[in-house]
Each structure stands twice: as structure tokens, then as C-alpha cells.
Amino acid sequence: MDNYEEDQEYLRELLERFESVSGEGGYSFFDSGELEDIIYYYFSEAELVKAQKAIDYAMEQFPAEVSFQVFKAQYFLNNGEPEKALARLNSLEAVDPQNPDISLTRATVYSSMHKHAEAIKEYQKSLAKVDEDLDEIHTSIAFEYQNLRDYKNAAEHLKKAIRLNKENESLLYEIGYCYEMGQMSEEAIAFFTSEIDTRPYSLVAWYNLGIAYSTLELYEKAIDGFDYSIAIDPTFTPAYFSKAQCYEQMEMYQEAINVYKQTFELEKPDSMTNYYIGDCYASMEKYETAIEFYRKSISLERHFSDAWMGIGLCFVELEQYSEALSHIEQAIKIESDNAEYYIVLAETQLALGLDDEAALAYEKASELEPYHAEIWLDYSDFYAEIKKDFSKALEILENGIYYQGENSALAYRRIAYLYESGKHKEAVLELFIALTMDYEAHTQLLEYSEKARNSAEILAVIASYKNQ
């Protein structure tokens, strides 16, 4: 019988004996170690009622044993009573101030209460009280810093953890995550380069080095990092995806497609990979092939809204607007709160002459994303250009300015509408204000409005402001 089977047999007999005693109100002697094993098991199985019985039994048998009092605090925590857990731990610290389990459990309680700074203090206390598992404590501190979005300190503690436990390469992923979230790409490059010097066959280090270079848009160096990780483990699919996305960013779409397709040899084709390939073909203006891969994506995940929208956009490019409309509408059925979908819907409806329906789509988009300037520009432009209703266009723009009063694009578009509708004096007055707000953006006015572009007074105001 191997050790695992022996442990399982020991635990089975121990639990049977304890449950027999606790159920019948009988008595049997258990030493403190056996009772700890019983309690650990019940906690691991989330059997809180049985855990409570075992803890209370242990406290009766060993009233001076602090460890069982700590278990009681852990029971309170697991039972959703963190305040009771803290009260119990605070009373115990006066009895046994050097007990690390008290600080560690209290840190866990504070963390559950989202009091992450307090949790960090408790973990720091425990570091001075223990000689083992220091890497786990530093990792716990790092997670608390992550919850505080202090990624720099989180990374520092993770680095301490991996120095203590060099075999735990999963920590490298966590370090990479901290550097990425903290926008510390240069620090990431320095760290992972150093790691590779000491562990040149670490695919995790090479992969994270690639991610760091990719974040800095140094795509060729990023691809080198991903290639090294693939060389170490040819089945490591995340490196293939990251490499393909680098090629996409470099507009090397065929290369990206080739890498995406390599993953089909390693794992079953999935919806997302087919979608990415479809995007690449769409970027290459090979719309029929893009549609083919978007359809493969949908066949694997029926409710993948972006794939439905991808097909719709391809049909728009092919000027097959009725086909486009049906697919865009399906995307919206799946994801009805996506404002960009409604903009595409409106533009497609306009192409089909469905002006009233397009107006409703623009309105819905503005409701979903009132802080998106382009939506207000598109929505108001519909009335200005299509309906020739500048009053309605100005009304819509006023709503946009309510949400984004400092947006110069909206200010200059309002001036354009005023000037185009014959309100020249009001337009000129607002032009002075807009030039003060953002002089460089005045080109948007001239690009949009032919009348303003050919107006001597508009050009004179702009020239006078530039001279000042």
C-alpha cells in the first residue's frame, strides 16, 4: 500500500470513529493531531456543521490549545461572521502574541472584508514569526496589493516569493500580469531578461518577455520571445495566439493567419480562432473568405455576436445591404447594449433608404454611450446632411455637449451647423470661444463645412486668433 492509500485509510477510519462518537454522544480519545486532521478535512469539504462539532469537541478536550481557538475563528469566517472571527483572534493575541496563525488568519479575515491594507499589515507581522512558507506569505501580500491596484509593490513581493521558491514558475505569470496592469513594460523587460539569463529554458519567462515587448509595440522583438517559448514547448498555444496578434498589428495578415492555423494542429478549432482568422481576411479585403471563417465561428458558438457583426460588415463592404442588415440585427439580438452595433445598423439602414429606422438606431446608440463624441457627431450629422434639418441637428448636439462640455469636436460641429443654417453672428461668437478652447481643432470646422471654409469672416477670425 502506498503512502496515499495509507493516508486515505487513516483518514477514513479517523472520521468514522469521530462521527460515531459525536453522533451517539459517546467518548473516544483523540490526540490533538488527529483532531486537527479531522477539522482540516471538514473545512476542505466545506462541511461547516461537522467542522463546528469537531472544533467544539477539540476545545473541550484541549482548552489550553490556541490552535483550536484559531480554528474557531476560521469557522466564523467561513460561516460569514468575520466580526466574530476578529473578536476571537484579538482575544487570542494577548494569550499567545508570537503565534503566526493568529496574524495569518486575521489577514484572511481582513481580506474577506476588503480591508486590504489591514490584511497586508497582518501578513507583514506573520513574516517575523515563521521560518517556512515565506514564499506563500509574500504571494498573499502581493494579491492584497493587486486588490489595491498597487502593482509595483505586488510585483516586488512576487519577486521575493520566487527567490524563495524558484520552482514555482506560475509566479512568473503573476509578475507579468502586475507589470502589464501597472504599465511597467520596461521594468518587465529588464526583469524577464534577467530571469532568462538564469533560466534560459523557461518558456514562461520568454512568453512574458514577448508580452512586454508587444505592449511597447516592439512587435518583432515580441515575436522573437514567443518563438523561443514555442521552441521550448511546441504545444504552448498562448504563444501562437500572441505571435499572430503581433503580425496583425504589423498588418502582416497572411502571416497571422498562418500562425492561427497552426493552433488547429495542437487543439480543436474554436470559435475565437476562426473569428480572428475572419478578421484577418476582412482586413485583406477578402470578404467572401472572411465570411466563411465567421460562419465557422458561429457554427461553434451560436451566440457569438462579434462574428455575426463581422459577417454584416463584410456584406456592407460588398454592398449587399439586405444581407448585411439581417446579420447586424442578429448581432444586436445577442448583444443589445453595444452602441457601436447601432451605429453600423443605422448606416446600413441609410444605405437601404430606411431613414426613420436609422434615426431610431442613432438615438439608441446615444442613449447607450452618451459620453462617446463620435456617436453625437454621427447622429446630428444624419439630420444635418440627410434630413437638412439643422434645428434638430443642433438639438441633438446640445444633448451631446451636456455630457461632454469640453469636447472641442462637438463645439466646432455646432459652429458648422450654425453657419450652414445662416446663423452667422452666433457662429462667429462661438468660434472665438472654441478657438480659445482648442485652436488646433479648428481644422475640423473647415473640413466639415464648405460655407465656413469659403467664408472671409470665419477665416479672418481664425487668422486673428492665430496672430494673437
Mean pLDDT within 241-266: 97
Q: Is the pLDDT of residue 68 over 60?
A: yes
Single out the residue of 151, 125, 149 nearest to residue 137, CA to CA.
125
Q: Taking a C-beta distance cutoff of 8 angstroms, is the pair 342, 332 a contact? A: yes
| pLDDT on residue 418 | 95
| pLDDT: which is higher, 131 or 174 | 174
Mean pLDDT within 339-358: 97
Q: Is the pLDDT of residue 24 over 80?
A: no
Single out the residue of 21, 83, 7, 15 nearest to residue 47, CA to CA.
15
* Residue that is written with C-alpha cell 508570537 in the block: 98
| pLDDT: which is higher, 146 or 22 | 146
297 confidence band (pLDDT: 50, 70, 90): very high
Mean pLDDT within 34-63: 85
Mean pLDDT within 43-55: 85
Mean pLDDT within 27-33: 78
Q: Is the pLDDT of residue 349 over 60?
A: yes
Q: pLDDT tens across 364-383, in order? A: 999 999 999 999 999 999 99
Q: pLDDT tens across 301-328, in order? A: 999 999 999 999 999 999 999 999 999 9
Q: pLDDT tens across 392-403, in order? A: 999 999 999 999
Q: In the CATH scheme, what is the code of domain 184-267?
A: 1.25.40.10
Q: Is the pLDDT of residue 13 over 90?
A: no
Q: How far is CA 426 from the centre of its chain?
A: 46
Q: Is the pLDDT of residue 25 over 80?
A: no
| pLDDT: which is higher, 464 or 23 | 464
Q: Is the pLDDT of residue 1 over 50?
A: no
| pLDDT on residue 41 | 87
Q: CB atoms < 10 A from the CB of 27, how many?
A: 7
23 confidence band (pLDDT: 50, 70, 90): low
Mean pLDDT within 200-227: 97
d(C-alpha 432, C-alpha 271), whole Å: 53
Q: pLDDT tens across 401-458, in order? A: 999 989 999 999 999 999 999 999 999 999 999 999 999 999 999 999 999 999 999 9
52 confidence band (pLDDT: 50, 70, 90): confident
User: Is the full-model pTM beyond 0.75?
Assistant: yes
Q: Mean pLDDT for the chain?
A: 92
Q: Is the pLDDT of residue 141 over 80?
A: yes
Listed as own residue / partner, the contacts of 306-314 with beta carbons closer than 8 Å and 24 or more positions apart are 306/275, 306/331, 307/271, 307/274, 307/275, 307/278, 308/334, 309/341, 309/344, 310/275, 310/278, 310/279, 310/282, 312/344, 312/348, 313/282, 313/344, 314/282, 314/287, 314/288, 314/290
- Comparing 42-51, 119-128, 372-381, 412-421, the range with the smallest average pLDDT is 42-51
| pLDDT: which is higher, 267 or 36 | 267
Single out the residue of 168, 167, 172, 107 nearest to residue 140, CA to CA.
107
Q: Is the pLDDT of residue 99 over 50?
A: yes
